[in-house]
């Protein structure tokens, strides 16, 4: 089945799912993290999916689409950094961290595959 909208992209759905996971875990963060870690991890994780969607809208210009995918990957790496802070501040367990990193790596692999194969 041909891809007709950005929600048909596996990588978008994986990124959206990751953003929702970050939203859920960040609800458990202390109140004094509201305008720092909580806000940052939500924004960066949502930016992954949003950049993929924005790029899809520009896909007739391959360079623009690819740039948005690179931006999405930048947000993905930022999210991983915030996850490290969450783990090191003991807001999430090492097991949770490992699970989220695995999910992130899956998204990253799909991002680069789409980037490298887009014509």
Name the residue range of residue 24's domain.
Answer: 6-117
1 pLDDT more than 80: no
10 Å Cβ neighbour count for 48? Answer: 30
What pLDDT, in 10s, does the model give residues 7-64? 999 999 999 999 999 999 999 999 999 999 999 999 999 999 999 999 999 999 999 9
Residue 19 lies in a domain: yes
Residue 111 maps to a domain: yes
SS3 92: coil
Domain-located, residue 37: yes
Contact 15, 52 (CB under 8 A): yes
The mean pLDDT value for 95-106 works out to: 98
What are the tens digits of pLDDT across the range 73-96? 999 999 999 999 999 999 999 999
Q: Give the CA distances from residue 7 to residues 32, 80, 104, 116, in Å, rounded to whole numbers and listed in that order.
A: 35, 23, 18, 20
Q: For position 115, what pLDDT does the model report?
A: 95
The domain total for the chain is 1
Residue 39 belongs to a domain: yes
Q: What does pTM read for this prediction?
A: 0.95
Whether the Cβ atoms of residue 74 and residue 55 lie closer than 8 Å to each other: no
Is the residue at 1 inside a domain? Answer: no
Q: Quick check: is 88 in a domain?
A: yes
Assigned domain for 89 exists? yes
Domain harbouring 90, CATH code = 1.20.1440.60
């Amino acid at each position: 089945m041909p891809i007709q909208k950005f929600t048909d992209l596996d990588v978008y759905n994986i990124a959206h799912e990751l953003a929702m996971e970050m939203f859920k875990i960040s609800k458990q963060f202390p109140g004094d993290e509201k305008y720092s870690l909580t806000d940052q991890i939500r924004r960066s994780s949502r930016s992954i999916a949003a950049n993929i969607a924005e790029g899809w809208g520009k896909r007739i210009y391959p360079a623009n689409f690819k740039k948005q995918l690179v931006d999405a990957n930048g947000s993905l790496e930022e999210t991983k950094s915030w996850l490290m802070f969450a783990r090191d501040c003991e807001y999430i367990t090492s097991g949770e961290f490992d699970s989220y990193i695995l999910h992130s790596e899956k998204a990253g692999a799909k991002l680069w595959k789409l980037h490298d194969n887009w014509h």
